[in-house]
Structure 1
Amino acid sequence: MAGRGGAFALVALCMLELALLHGAGAGAGERLVPAMFVFGDSTVDVGNNNLLPVCKPECRANYPQYGVDHPSHAPTGRFSNGYNLADQIAKLLGFNESPPAFLSLQAEGIIPRMNDGINFASGGSGLQNQTGEHCGGVYSMADQLEEFTLVVKMMGNSSYDLISRSLFFISVGSNDLFEYAHAKNPPPNRNDTAFLKCLVDSYKTYLQELHALGARKFSIVSPSLVGCCPSQRAAALQHHNDFDELHCFRPANNLSKQLYALLASKLQELGGDLDGMHYSICDSAGMAEMVFTPGGAKDPTVVDTACCAGPGPFGVGLCNTSATLCPNRTNFVFWDSFHPTEYASGLAASALFIDNGKFVRPINVGQLAAL
């Protein structure tokens, strides 16, 4: 399926009332940080996959349905009906939308520059280099860090102050969980803990590399309950109805819950070791559990079915010209088989900015930006 970046990485719909009561983000004409740099998968990709020549068509968001609610009413490379999580966070920081896709700058013959930031995210990618190979070729996290390093070197020492005051927004890891949970021939002695530790060690390496380049403010989105997106609910049917108490694919959800705890512990360790590092991590799995508990979601109410629906159970299928669109996108958590609607992403972004420590720790993104 196209760029299955992590489903609803952060469906914090239960935080809606809090967001409406307190508000969030920058005021008109105000920017909370000078720039934003985005890394990760299809939850935050704004067009890089569309410009990767080796990326297969099914891993690009260029069908007409993608972007139906975007101001352009055209596909932009976002795996959404409109803006995605990176855009929503950027708006709260005082920008119009996510910084441009790195490859769009190259395609236009523009020398990559910092300015408002750059988005390096690539749908289907993960923490491991081999993740996303089914797409034919995507930018892994290692690739994204390599490109960022080259840009920093081009800018020279003048970039350090900008980088140190900017926000680094990272949403990655879900695709690694998808592929591991669905391995066709898993070894009989497969060790889930060792696999997750490997992911966290990779995350640590990437954060250390970014810190060495001057990054100081990190907003980390842990993978949500990936087993609850429509594609994984459908997969549970094929795995002897292996549903958990949320009616989601049990093995994938178990991985999500374990990964958050390990990642949070590693970040606490890094926060003490890396000079000047500040971070905010969201327990997306914990947020999602409240949403997907039967009777838990009040707005939107449709939590298990894709709005851009294919012919399969739970509306699973390609979000292409043959798909059926739901009439009310604000009533659905999921846009397609893996990704949230623009509405769900907006609610999630607001929660990231104002959560009081229940799911976003040790500080929220609003507080992080203000440091």
Structure 2
Amino acid sequence: MATPLTIQNPVLLTVCVVLFSVTTIATTRDPNIPIGPVFIFGDSTVDVGTNNYIKNCTAKVNHPYYGIDYPQSKATGRFSNGLNSADTIVALLGGYEQSPPPFLALLRDSSNFTGKLLDGVNFASGGAALVKGVGKDFLGDVISLEEQIQQFATVRGNITALLGESKGQLLLQGSMYIFSIGSNDIMNYIFSHPTTPEIFIANITAIYGIHLKNLYNLGARKFGLISVPSLGCCPIARLFSPGGTCAKEPNDLASAFFTPFESLLKNLSSTLEGFKYSLGNSYNMTMNIINNPSGFKDVAKACCGNNTIQGISDCKEGGFLCPHRDDHLFWDAFHPSEAASKLAAHALVFSEDPDFVTPINFGTLRST
């Protein structure tokens, strides 16, 4: 079991956040395989502006107060007051100051499109899920994981056309593929309950496996995956829980998902040649910091959007905004603050604690 953490060794993760110890480890790698770019897949926890380019999408945050702590206080489409987990992870992995741009942004700017792909791409879309169509009734059009992988297939085709099939494949094998998704599937299940929890978990695990195999067949080998955090502890979930405590059902589902997901990854690594992975246990990390809230003065309420009797107000200009964003674990009703995201990156990239990342950390995976 993980021990309580102190502010000297913090970490936080996706929708809900968390802290823990940080250590680096070095390893060797095949010099014949170049270290390729980073490709990012997922939902709002790692979206850096994809939804800005989708016409019929209501899951957009390209307005204040979002981005208030980003350079020039620019609302970029990140579901954050500044940078998000995608930005901080890739910066620590090396070669990046922040996340590579959205695929749809690169597609719109067609000049040197293929060349820019060699610097990496972010496909993540706020509201995306493992199951295609989830959330469409509420959010309109978002890019599901299935569609994100289809977009990557386009990227792969351009890279191999530029470099040749052999060199292009080697570059893709040396690249890093980061995933943060699954929360929207769980929240959709809670609202609909189409089957038993056991069947639901088995189904989304199997679907995740199909997506990973499809990406593997396109050349991916290094998978950095972030599991579903304790969704019941987010401000929006606490609002509907007695006494403002963490809601039980979303937490139970998030916790139950981790074990079969880890088993899936173990199976893929033993059956698919060259398949390597690092899995971040964001449920454990989240609960650790919530139970031992060193470094944050508030681990329950949103910084932007006020908790009222009527509910949580929207995070928008003119509404409630806390003056000290770094004191808050949560930026809005669902997402971590920039400070939390920066701590999360250290955990994923450097930690050697198996309660939080297994079997290796993101940094080790990147350098293999």
Aligned length: 339
Contact map agreement 2:15 2:334 (CA 8 A) in 1: no
2:358 equivalent in structure 1: 361
Which amino acid counterpart does residue 85 of structure 2 have in structure 1? L
- 1:301-332 per-residue CA deviation (whole Å, 9 max, x = no partner) reads 31110001235369722111132111111110
* Alpha-carbon contact 1:67-1:82 (below 8 Å) kept: yes
- Between 65-74 and 140-149, report the one with greater CA deviation: 65-74
Instruction: Report the equivalent of 2:82.
Output: 82
Match of 1:8 in 2: 14
Under a length normalisation based on structure 1, what TM-score does the superposition of the two structures give? 0.87
Q: Which residue of 1 aligns with 2:148?
A: 144
Q: What is the TM-score when the length of structure 2 is the normalising length?
A: 0.88
Distance change in 2, residues 1:163/1:115 (3 Å): same
Residue in 1 aligned with 2:280? Answer: 282
Cα deviations by residue, 1:147-180 (Å, 9 ceiling, x for unpaired): 1112212332142111111110000000111111
Query: In structure 1, how many angstroms separate the alpha carbons of the residues matched to 2:35 and 2:237?
Result: 37
CA distance in structure 2 between the partners assigned to 1:312 and 1:360 by the alignment: 36
Q: Which amino acid aligns with 1:332?
A: H
Note the C-alpha offset of 1:289.
1.5
1:104 corresponding residue in structure 2? 105
Determine the structure 1 residue equivalent to 2:219: 214
Quickly say closer, same or farther: Cα 1:267–1:86, change in 2 above 3 A: same
Distance 2:283 2:315 in 1: 25
5 Å matches for 1:198-209? 198-209=203-214
Superimposed CA distance per residue, residues 177-218 of structure 1 (whole angstroms, 9 cap, x where no aligned partner): 1111122xx45xx31011111111111011101111111110
Q: Secondary structure at the match of 1:325?
A: coil
Query: Is 1:8–1:334's contact at 8 Å kept on the other side of the alignment?
Result: no
* CA deviation vs aligned residue, 1:219-262 (integer Å, no higher than 9, x gap): 000010011100111132xxxx397xxx2111100000000111
What is the aligned-residue identity percentage? 37
Match of 1:4?
A: none
Cα offset, 1:280, TM superposition? 0.3
> Which among 149, 168, 173 is matched to residue 159 of structure 1?
168
Alpha-carbon spacing, 1:309–1:358, altered in 2? closer, same or farther (3 Å): same
**Where does residue 123 of structure 2 map in the other structure?**
120
8 Å contact kept, 1:308–1:315:
no
Q: 1:33/1:80 Cα in 2 relative to 1: closer, same or farther (>3 Å)?
A: farther
CA distance in 2 between counterparts of 1:116 and 1:132 reads 31
Contact 2:61/2:79 (CA < 8 Å) preserved in 1?
yes
Decide whether aligned partners of structure 1 residues 312 and 23 sit closer, same or farther in structure 2, where only a CA change above 3 A counts: farther
Give the whole-Å Cα distance in 2 for the aligned partners of 1:194 and 1:8: 25
1:131 aligns with 2:128: no
Check the 8 A contact 1:308/1:325 in 2, yes or no. Answer: yes
Displacement of 1:44 in angstroms is 0.2
Matched, 1:224 2:229: yes
User: Structure 2 matches for 1:26-45, cutoff 5 A?
Assistant: 33-45=35-47
- One-letter code aligned to 1:70: Y
Pairwise CA distance, 1:67: 0.8
Q: Which residue of 2 aligns with 1:3?
A: none
Residue 339 of structure 2 aligns with which residue? 343
Match of 2:308 in 1: 312
Contact 1:46 1:101 in 2 (8 A): yes
Q: Could you tell me whether the CA contact under 8 Å between 2:305 and 2:316 is conserved in 1?
A: no
1:72-91 CA-to-partner distances (Å, cap 9, x unmatched) read 31100100001000000110
The one-letter code of the counterpart of 2:247 is F
* Aligned-pair CA distance for 1:354: 1.7
Alignment partner, residue 250 of structure 1: 248
Specify the SS of the correspondent of 1:170. strand
- Give, in whole Å, the separation in 2 of the partners of 1:270 and 1:10: 28
CA root-mean-square deviation: 2.0
Corresponding residue for 2:198?
193
Query: Bigger shift: 345-354 or 321-330?
Result: 321-330
Which amino acid in 1 is paired with 2:38? M
Counterpart residue number, 2:4: none
Deviations 1:21-61 (A, max 9, x none): x4799xxxxxx9431000000000000001101112xx101
CA contact (8 A) 2:301 2:307 kept: no
8 Å CA contact 1:37–1:117 kept in 2: the answer is yes
1:115-167 alpha-carbon deviations (Å, 9 max, x no partner):
11100000001001121211111000011011111221233214211111111
Partner Cα distance (1:123, 1:301) in 2: 28
Secondary structure of the 2:71 match is coil
Aligned pairs (5 A) from 1:286-305: 286-293=284-291, 296-305=292-301
Partners of 1:106 and 1:272 in 2: CA distance: 36
